[in-house]
Structure 1
């Protein structure tokens, strides 16, 4: 299985991914938008900001089994029957960076939806440290609940004019793991892109399976984007995942950036690698186009 190669789209300039994306001072953006405090430490530098020109972008509430679930939706203004992409957050929830990623996809013609999948377990922005966040919220969020919530979000997107025959999913860190799992859960997904999502782990009641467990039978093509210096996701686990995908004759692929660590796409964190983030973005868009989600 070979890595996806650049399909001829050149990387864009240093200050943009595409039209409408601008940089401005990080502190101004984060203080105004309420970044998760648990995401600290961050770097006091510029952060990519995508405007809403030409978009319909807003927060909504979706009621699922009596629970109010916040969702952020961005899509081209005045257009219907557009492809749908689920944008799955890191452990820090749907803060401004994740909303910005949704707007970036909307600028590319997608209805992009970022749901708050932790709402029943708690608010990541209220947790002071990562250890407590993992223990009190992440570990208590069942995979089955997440899969069910995403199914409902897809149905909601269809009701609002999204073309769920062209359904994609992408996610970061925790959301990368969910991307692999949802691609196995919902065969109507046309393609996924998983950014540095954990691949292996112990089975628990809330997380009975991990991506390595579904790889051999995976039908939906997923592109995995990983960092060679990621201390939390060892390269041996990435190679195990590659071998499992190959064994199942999967159409999925994994690309490793040797000079990046974890969260290399997160432009509000010190881990950000601009060159690899841009390359990954172009690979993601090309992957979706290759599999008919555009």
Structure 2
């Protein structure tokens, strides 16, 4: 059987895999195959999720919860799950907006943020991530080896969840907002919970990020130095926001590759 060309892959994902708000999809998009993996769409109660894990694995697997960007669990986030599964992890990405709507059906980012993202409360997300961790532990995951990683919107959530769930052994937050306005849905920012972290967190940021200032990164660094958990806050000076998003023009290959390698080493260092 002929393998699909990159052009065919991009054509398909433009129609089905990515949020309408992030078209066109860049030619740098990485496609990780499912050879040697079990991949499937599942439900955790009513919540849809994407699962990838090594096929025919024996014993409980180290687990990584992958927290979506603002664009949802699209093809890139699913690919992240497959990359982690290739490393021996059970990787699971829950659809954390499912009660409010489907981001892949929204055609512009301003509408996406106003009509969907801003309506998803942090408390709901924490509860759904707890349910995800419990589901994974009951379906082949090792509850003693649990890690979390998230990107953009999910990067902020990763920080919050590291202060919420004491069962998480290590986390990696990719360019998640650290400071900003609060409201009833978003009562705290990562800087507000820096002293409450329950496990080691790796933060990965871009020096040219137009949305996350270096001043806020410095403020977070100072706050982290006053708490006991191990941490590492890395800044890639030439990278912008979304530098790991290989399907977008923001992709910075050197920063993305180094960040990925650093994340995997961070997980291993803390037993995941």
TM-score calculated relative to the size of structure 2:
0.95
Shift of 1:218: 1.5
Q: Trace 1:3-82 onto structure 2 (pairs within 5 A).
A: 24-25=6-7, 27-31=10-14, 33-43=16-26, 45-63=27-45, 68-79=46-57, 80-82=59-61
**What's the CA shift string for 1:214-255, capped at 9, x where partnerless?**
002223100000000001000000000000000113311100
From 232, 238, 247, the equivalent of 2:211 is 232
Distance 2:14 2:214 in 1: 36
> Across the two proteins, how many residue pairs are aligned to each other?
267
Distance 1:33 1:274 in 2: 25
Distance 1:31 1:42 in 2: 7
Q: CA RMSD in A?
A: 1.5
Confirm whether residue 199 of structure 1 aligns to residue 195 of structure 2: no
From 199, 217, 220, the equivalent of 1:220 is 199
- Check conservation: 2:14, 2:24, Cα contact below 8 A: no
Distance 1:94 1:219 in 2: 26
Moved more, 126-135 or 265-274: 126-135
- Check conservation: 2:164, 2:198, Cα contact below 8 A: no
**What's the CA shift string for 1:187-208, capped at 9, x where partnerless?**
1100000000000111210110
Distance 2:67 2:51 in 1: 12
TM-score calculated relative to the size of structure 1:
0.88
Distance 2:263 2:162 in 1: 15
Distance 1:46 1:270 in 2: 8
From 121, 124, 137, the equivalent of 1:145 is 124
- Check conservation: 1:24, 1:48, Cα contact below 8 A: no
The DSSP-based 3-state class of the residue aligned with 1:244 is: helix
Q: Which runs of 5+ in 2 are unaligned?
A: none
Shift of 1:32: 5.9
The DSSP-based 3-state class of the residue aligned with 2:120 is: coil
Q: Trace 1:131-170 onto structure 2 (pairs within 5 A).
A: 131-170=110-149
Shift of 1:24: 2.9
Confirm whether residue 119 of structure 1 aligns to residue 102 of structure 2: no
Distance 2:229 2:216 in 1: 17
